[in-house]
Amino acid sequence: MTDEDTHSHVVPGSDEELSTPDVRGYDFRGSFDFDDLLQSYATTGFQATQLAEAIDIAEQMQAADATVYLTFTSNIVSSGLREVVAYLVREGFVDVLITTSGSLTEDVIKTAKPFKMGKWNADEGALRERGINRLGNIFVPSDRYVWLEEYLYEFFDDFFAEEKIRTPTAFARELGATLDDEDSVLKQAADNNVPVYCPALTDAEVGNFLYYYRQGYDAEVGIEILDDYDSLIQDGLLADETGLIAVGGGVPKHHAIMTNLFRGGADYVVYISTGVEGDGSLSGAPPNEAVSWGKIKNHETNYTQIEAEATLVLPLLVASAFKQE
């Protein structure tokens, strides 16, 4: 093999000129412009470019006046993203919320007792002795849940007074109406007539307290989830177009795309996820997998996924697609 042969393997060359944009990041020389910074993400590459695509799709949702679903897991409310979600609801940018039971309980707690910053590498045994629960680098003292139990028991008395079988959306709506905190997701949803679907309502402290309440106070009370499923499907069928922003995975994400299947798929979709595709889980499944199931419509530019932790990118997405004027 000659030097010319080996050189052709190492540097094969190319006669093709690509028509795509040049890779180029933000130029920090001169005055700083936040909007220009986010626009530069389109040509920065990697997940910055995915975020730029997500911003564009979120803007398309708004331009099309799509019915927008926001799905999120409870850790979003545990963090400072609670205020971001409340903003989206307050300003009318989202029409449907789908979340987990932990989101509801933690939203209620934060109306009266804040969560506190902690650290990742805490002494877990010492925290247990002190009555402190750890969520990543966020600390939640156990007295929050003592207060929550008392609050919910009083709420249950009124909630089940006239109807013994209620739905999760009714639970979220009526609970939100009792709250007095402008940063509460449930309060904003109740005030702005945005339904909050929680198909796994018992999978947190709400479930524990409902269990004790039914055992000790009223054996006839219960939660019916099928009525909510009917409503979610029927409302989706009536929508001209739908958009989905899925923050994290699990039940909320799948509930949104599954009910959109009945209408032939969602029209615009943004996933923000750290889930991995390799294990075959729904949480890690990218949007093009949902296309194969008919849960997302098949267009080249109507869906994207940002592989990143939500606290890093959701505020940037909201700042650019929903706040910038």
Query: Residue 90 above 90 pLDDT?
Result: yes
Q: Tell me the mean pLDDT in the region 124-134.
A: 97
**In the prediction, which pLDDT does 161 show?**
96
Q: What is the pLDDT of residues 223-264, one digit of tens each?
A: 999 999 999 999 999 999 999 999 999 999 999 999 999 999
Indicate the pLDDT class of residue 275, thresholds 50, 70 and 90. very high
300 versus 125: which is more confidently predicted? Answer: 125
Instruction: Using a pLDDT cut of 70, give the percent of the chain over it.
Output: 99
| Mean pLDDT, the chain, whole residue set | 96
Query: Residue 74 above 60 pLDDT?
Result: yes
Indicate the pLDDT class of residue 149, thresholds 50, 70 and 90. very high
CA nearest to 268, candidates 285, 291, 237: 291
Query: Residue 325 above 70 pLDDT?
Result: no
Please report where in the chains the tokens 């190319």 appear, as a residue.
14
Q: For the chain, list the domains and their CATH numbers.
A: 62-323 (3.40.910.10)
Q: Tell me the mean pLDDT in the region 63-78.
A: 98
**Ordered DSSP codes for 141-191:** ETHHHHHHHHHHHHHHHHHTSS-SEE-HHHHHHHHHHT---TT-HHHHHHH
Question: Which pair of tokens denotes residue 165?
Answer: 């079988």
Query: Residue 5 above 90 pLDDT?
Result: no
Query: Residue 21 above 70 pLDDT?
Result: yes
Question: Which pair of tokens denotes residue 88?
Answer: 């989206």
Sequence-distant (≥ 6) Cβ neighbours of residue 65 within 8 angstroms = 240, 241
Query: Residue 290 above 90 pLDDT?
Result: yes
Q: Which residues are catalytic?
A: 295
Query: Residue 8 above 80 pLDDT?
Result: no
With vertex at residue 200, the alpha carbon angle to CA 236 and CA 194, rounded to the nearest 5 degrees, is 40
DSSP 77: H
Q: What is the pLDDT of residues 176-200, one digit of tens each?
A: 999 999 999 999 999 999 999 999 9
- Report how far residue 48's alpha carbon sits from residue 124's, in angstroms, rounded to the nearest whole number: 35
Query: Residue 133 above 80 pLDDT?
Result: yes
